[in-house]
């Protein structure tokens, strides 16, 4: 009985570590970027840039996505150095 008392809450805790799409962590976090597919990451950047007012398929969107990508790479580099 004691095992079940500890196991069930632990199971809920561990199951909360992954998102329904198979990624881990909060969207945009370093853990999320480690587990998200390239398509998921690109869609994340596009949605973020749309929030800034850029439209899909424009040069401004392409520049925004590239800048977001550079920003994340720098953040990861700074974090792990």
pLDDT grade for 78, boundaries at 50, 70 and 90:
confident
When the pLDDT of each residue in the chain is averaged and rounded to a whole number, the result is 82
Given this model, what pLDDT does residue 55 score? 98
Domain that residue 70 falls in: 2-80
Q: Which residues of 4-31 are buried (b: 16+ CB within 10 A; e: fewer)?
A: eeeeeeeeeeeeeeeeeeebebeeeeee
Q: What is the mean pLDDT of residues 47-76?
A: 95
77: three-class secondary structure by DSSP: helix
Of the candidates 50, 41, 51, the one whose C-alpha atom is nearest the C-alpha of residue 71 is 41
Element (H, E) at 28: none
How many domains does the chain fold into? Answer: 1
């Amino acid at each position: 009985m004691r095992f079940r008392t500890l196991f069930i809450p632990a199971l809920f805790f561990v199951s909360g570590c992954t998102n329904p799409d198979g990624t881990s962590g909060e969207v945009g976090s370093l853990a999320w970027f480690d587990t998200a597919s390239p398509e998921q990451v690109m869609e994340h950047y596009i949605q973020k840039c749309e929030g800034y007012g850029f439209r899909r398929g424009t040069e401004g969107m392409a520049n925004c996505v590239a800048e977001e990508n550079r920003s994340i790479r720098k953040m990861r580099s700074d974090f792990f150095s």
